């Protein structure tokens, strides 16, 4: 049975929308696209390269799939540690609105998201990776289906945009398993779910 990991870029105020460029996702009138780019130093690249040494498959939400499919198939250098994995390994897209997928090696999951992802984990070995895909991630966190979260918190506040942990998310405790900070100030924190929160008073 596979494990499922999430790698997510976040601002200090929890926004995950359009980290990679102004045209990536301007939905909702979002005007801050590309906010992660100034912090992409060698430490950041090193961490992302490490992440991409591990996957056996990828799971993406519709919006992230469309962004990735518009860029990564055009990156054909076999020595590229990210493009080589994204283009060669199986990819699964959870969507009820897509009719077809064109990126080679991609399978569309159109049924109940929780049931589809549970079955995918059961029939797959190794590590399935999610990148971005915030809406899908929230659903899977609420159903205890994500085993590891890599949260890259960038030192910037935007005030608007979609947030990973929005109102209504299921209360969940996490256990930190790793932490590092890049030279540009990105706090990379790795967590595993640890059940429901505990409460007390001081």
The gap between the terminal CA atoms of the chain, to the nearest Å, is: 42
Reported pTM: 0.94
Contact 199, 175 (CB under 8 A): no
Average pLDDT over residues 194-200: 95
Over the stretch 68-127, which tens digit does the pLDDT of each residue have? 999 999 999 999 999 999 999 999 999 989 999 999 999 999 999 999 999 999 999 999
Average pLDDT over residues 128-154: 96
Over the stretch 38-55, which tens digit does the pLDDT of each residue have? 999 999 999 999 999 999
Fold of 3-193: Dihydrofolate Reductase, subunit A (3.40.430)
Q: What is the pLDDT of residue 166?
A: 85
Contact 190, 177 (CB under 8 A): yes
Average pLDDT over residues 167-176: 93
What is the C-alpha separation between 60 and 24, in angstroms, rounded? 15
Q: Which tokens sit at 40?
A: 């992409």
Q: What is the side-by-side order of every strand in the sheet holding 3-11?
A: 106-109, 91-94, 55-61, 127-131, 3-11, 148-154, 187-193, 174-181
What is the C-alpha separation between 142 and 170, in angstroms, rounded? 5
Contact 35, 25 (CB under 8 A): no
Over the stretch 5-40, which tens digit does the pLDDT of each residue have? 999 999 999 999 999 999 999 999 999 999 999 999
Beta strands in 29-146 (DSSP E): 55-61, 91-94, 106-109, 127-131
pLDDT at 57 over 90: yes
Average pLDDT over residues 188-201: 96
Mean pLDDT for the chain overall: 96
H or E segment and range at residue 187: strand 187-193
Q: Which tokens sit at 87?
A: 């283009």
Spans of all domains in the chain: 3-193
Over the stretch 86-99, which tens digit does the pLDDT of each residue have? 999 999 999 989 99
Q: What is the pLDDT of residue 93?
A: 98
Q: What is the pLDDT of residue 167?
A: 87
């Amino acid at each position: 049975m596979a494990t499922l990991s999430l790698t997510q870029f976040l601002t200090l105020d929890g926004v995950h929308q359009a980290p990679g460029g102004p045209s990536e996702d301007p939905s909702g009138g979002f005007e801050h696209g590309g906010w992660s780019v100034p912090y992409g130093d060698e430490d950041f690249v090193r961490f992302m390269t490490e992440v991409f040494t591990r996957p056996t498959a990828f799971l993406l939400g519709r919006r992230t799939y469309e962004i990735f499919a518009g860029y990564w198939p055009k990156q054909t250098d076999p020595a590229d540690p990210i493009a080589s994995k994204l283009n060669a390994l199986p990819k699964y897209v959870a969507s009820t609105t897509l009719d077809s997928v064109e990126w080679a090696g991609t399978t569309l999951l159109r049924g109940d998201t929780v049931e589809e992802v549970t079955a995918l984990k059961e029939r797959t070995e190794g590590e399935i990776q999610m990148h971005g895909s915030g809406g899908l991630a929230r659903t899977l966190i609420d159903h205890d289906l994500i085993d590891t979260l890599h949260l890259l918190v960038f030192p910037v506040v935007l005030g608007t945009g979609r947030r990973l942990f929005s109102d209504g998310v299921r209360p969940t405790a996490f256990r930190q398993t790793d932490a590092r900070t890049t030279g540009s100030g990105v706090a990379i924190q790795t967590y595993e779910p640890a059940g429901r929160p505990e409460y007390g008073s001081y």
